[in-house]
Amino acid sequence: MNIQWFPGHMAKTRRLLAENLKLVDIVIELLDARIPASSKNPEIDEIIKNKPRVVALNKSDLADGEISKEWSKWYSSQGYTNIFIDAVRGTGINELKSRLRTMMKDRREKDLQRGRIFRPIRTMVVGIPNVGKSSFINKIAGRASAATGDRPGVTRSKQWIRLNEEIELLDTPGILWPKFDDQQVALNLAFTGAIKDDILDTTEIAGKLMEQLSLTYPDSLKGRFKLESLEGKDGITLLEEAGRKRGCIISGGEIDYSRIASIVLDEFRAGKIGRITLERPPESLGKES
């Protein structure tokens, strides 16, 4: 299976980001805390360049807390301000606002010394589809100011949002990159819903997920689906066993693969299998080039 997905509006969004970067003081890069590396668009670094940035890792309530600590340490070692947030419950939002103010403190003091009229801090939020951008914006603004949805591709055009007297935020549509060189990255995005299920073989995706979880979170997987043993079993076999346990049977006693695949993916994405992070930070703590 080779996963590729690059809707036409993504190329337009990339141009939009580059054009509007000069309008903002700080970029908020929103990532998925379960897949910090895979949910990072490598083109963003080239577009943003040296613009001040906050890395906000959303859906932290679904991620493995211990591994999140590793990621926080790693991002700090790279020189990035980072914060783990939950855009649904609002965890970390006030701290994020405070960090934005701190990052802009020197510039604001210089403006005051020069007698310049105060203007709000201008920020831009960027992130791949379905990383929770709209929910994040609604929470940080304290009102339903951006269209939200549980499927990728809801936000289509840029919009300025006044958060308060101090901060303005420019929303942009989610952006993926044209080609996935690493298919594990593509799988991680498929697991978490960043790529639409309707263009994927969900049975194969769910099988791949179960196979991965059998190695990294075996107890959580066994407990959730009442599986007796994982040893030596591939993902499809595990999917079949889970299907029988959940009663996903069609006429003739065959497994309803589509149904059990949907259950597995939905329960993973909702955190019902457990708090899971699919990747760890690079071993090297040296500055990225």
Residues written for the chain: 289
Determine if residue 174 is labeled as part of a ligand binding site: yes
252: phi > 0 → left, psi -120 to 50 → alpha, else beta; which?
A: left
**Bridge partners of residue 122, in order along the sequence:** 168
> Does 132 belong to an annotated binding site?
yes
Helix (H, G, I), strand (E, B) or coil at 58: strand
Report the C-alpha gap between 180 and 187 in whole angstroms: 10
**130 assigned binding-site residue:** yes
H or E stretch at 181: none
Q: What is the rounded CA–CA span in Å between residue 26 and residue 80?
A: 12
CA distance between the termini of the chain? 32
Residue 46's closest CA among 158, 153, 126? 126
72 is in an annotated binding site: no
* Alpha-carbon dihedral angle through residues 137, 143, 148, 153, given to the nearest 10 degrees: -40
CA distance 110 to 134: 33
Can you count the helices (H) and strands (E) in the chain?
A: 11, 6
Is 27 annotated in some ligand binding site? no
Q: Is 125 a known ligand-binding residue?
A: no
198 is in an annotated binding site: no
Give the residue ranges of the annotated binding site for GTP: 58-61, 130-135, 174
Question: Which residue ranges are tagged as binding site?
Answer: 58-61, 130-135, 174
